[in-house]
Amino acid sequence: MNKKIEIPRFTWWDWFLILGFMMVSVAVSVLNGNFSVLSFIAGTCSVLCVIFGIKGSVLNFIFGFLGSCIQGYMALKSGLYANAALFLLYNVPMQFVGWAQWRKRALGGGHEGIRTRWMSWPQRILLIVLCVAAVWGISRLLLKTDDPQPVSDALAMTVAVGAQFLLTFAYIEQWFMWVAVNVANLVMWSIAAARGVQFAPIMVVQYVFYMMNSIYGIVWWSRMSKKA
């Protein structure tokens, strides 16, 4: 197998998402008078991670590692403990697992993406049941801490854990789960922004772009599944 890592070609939509996020983030920060370098770097890394992921490129895990480290730190500073644990204790090590798995599933030496697949209905039902149970359990635990948004935090954490797992093993359903994660995070960071958290406005912008990327990912990965 050709082990060379190919850099995928970006479309106009990819550049729109990258440059659009950067410009809107700066504009929002200037208007709010609270520009956060960490948030900007984390957001840019995460957008690049998602775009490379949509293309089926293992390079997404490099940006995923950087973005997860920074966002985990920011969530910890904001008192969003489940979110912090998600990034630092789960997402960071999963980047290494994902890199290894995707190298095995590369199409055309890596320049045609990866072999994607759909889950079976029994797998989907089991996933939904596990997520609902986990959200209930984790939210109960977070109620005992000073977490300001235990339910949203638990939902964002739990569904993101499942989505990251499906991403690692190239299941297309991950993009539908990321839609749910993005909704939960939009609610959570919007409330944080209303409370005056410094880097929250950029996080809101970031998840708006993530939502667009999730829909883009569903279409792109569906196409790649037909190449497998």
Condensed to tens digits (0 to 9), the pLDDT of residues 13-62 reads: 889 888 988 888 788 777 777 777 888 888 889 889 989 998 888 899 99
CB 71 within 8 A of CB 46: yes
Dihedral (CA of 139, 140, 142, 148) sign? positive
CB 188 within 8 A of CB 152: yes
Global pTM reads 0.77
How far apart are alpha carbons 107 and 172 in whole angstroms? 16
How far apart are alpha carbons 149 and 184 in whole angstroms? 11
How far apart are alpha carbons 170 and 43 in whole angstroms? 23
How far apart are alpha carbons 84 and 44 in whole angstroms? 19
Residue-wise pLDDT for 164-218, tens only, equals 899 999 899 999 998 888 888 888 888 888 888 776 777 788 788 888 888 888 8
b/e per residue 189-210 (b: at least 16 CB within 10 A): bbebbeeebbbbbbbbbbbebb
What pLDDT shows up at residue 1?
A: 44
How far apart are alpha carbons 199 and 210 in whole angstroms? 17
